[in-house]
Structure 1
Amino acid sequence: MNKKQITAVVELDQSRYKTKIFADGHFIYADEPEYLGGTNEGMAPGGLLLASLGSCTAITVRMYADRKQIPLTGLTIHLAICAEDEMNEGTVIERKIELHGDLDEEQRKRLMIIADKCPIHKILTHPIKIISN
């Protein structure tokens, strides 16, 4: 398997806070809500962070369930974090995972352990460095 670096390009012009994000051939907007001066035409950065964690968790659990033939029919993940201006090194993300399907208790426990093994979870729970040039 050939692994490649994950990259993104973010552009901000005169549109106040509405930000264009390009990654791996995909495009989305990020923005701030109107009460912060944005146009609310995209998710705020904190929402994107939660979306990254939630989608990575869901995909990781699904991959494991498929590989182990666990009868997971779906999952729902609820996430919450404090306001962005309150975020610091002590910030807590609340994550509630609902597993759907005819699962026994052992399968549920195993899938919950696997949820913590998603790459984004690992990044967020360990120190990382950001190098700006």
Structure 2
Amino acid sequence: MTRPESDPDAVTVAETGIGKFQVEVLAGGATFMADEPVEAGGLDSGPNPYDLLASALGACTAMTLRLYADRKGWPLTRTIVRVLHTRTADGRDRFAREITLEGALDDDQRRRLLEIAERCPVHRTLEKGSEIITVQASPPDLGARERSGVCHLAAMTEACED
């Protein structure tokens, strides 16, 4: 199996040839597997795609809250974000986010941090929906891909503006 080239501007996903659904993900300098559970025909060797999407929401939320609390000098010692994904009866996806804020925060600080969570960049992306452009590429030419143009840190910083 030829390993795909790492690209700092894109996430690259390639089938491993092991199992029915197992893929290798190259993202942000890290490499990991994604898969489906055994009951769905996979090997359960990594998170499934919805787990990855929920992880993006949870990670962005925790990072955005950390950035905001640090800028304000607030005593947030740790954030834990638990994200649950379900599908509603009308076919819409629902992400339920439970946020635990640790530290000697007062009620106003906790309220404000929950408001900031609503502004994290991934939350906004999921709320608005996205345009997806698909093109066929000949390996290993990734030149046809779109560049995001938006740095995640810049988007988090914008979300933290008062």
TM-score normalized by structure 2?
0.73
Aligned-partner residue type, residue 78 of structure 1: R
Name the counterpart of 1:91: 93
Within-5 A mapping of 1:22-41: 22-41=26-45
> What RMSD in Å do the two structures reach over aligned CA positions?
1.9
Identity %: 36
SS in 2 for 1:81: strand
Name the counterpart of 2:11: 8
Q: CA deviation at 1:26?
A: 1.2
Name the counterpart of 1:47: 51
SS in 2 for 1:82: strand
SS in 2 for 1:22: strand
Name the counterpart of 2:76: 72
The alignment of Structure 1 onto Structure 2 pairs a total of residues equal to: 127
Q: CA deviation at 1:53?
A: 0.4
Q: CA deviation at 1:14?
A: 2.2
TM-score normalized by structure 1?
0.88
Find the partner of 1:123 among 105, 125, 131.
125
Residues 28-87 of structure 1: CA distance to partner in whole angstroms, max 9, x if unpaired? 11000001111101001111111110011000000110111010011111111126xx79
Q: CA deviation at 1:127?
A: 2.3
Take 1:25 and 1:78, find their aligned partners in 2: how far apart are those partners? 25
Residues 95-128 of structure 1: CA distance to partner in whole angstroms, max 9, x if unpaired? 1111111110110011011111211111000021
Within-5 A mapping of 1:102-121: 102-121=104-123
Take 1:14 and 1:132, find their aligned partners in 2: how far apart are those partners? 23
Aligned-partner residue type, residue 130 of structure 1: I
In the alignment, is residue 82 of structure 1 matched against residue 76 of structure 2?
no
Take 1:51 and 1:88, find their aligned partners in 2: how far apart are those partners? 24
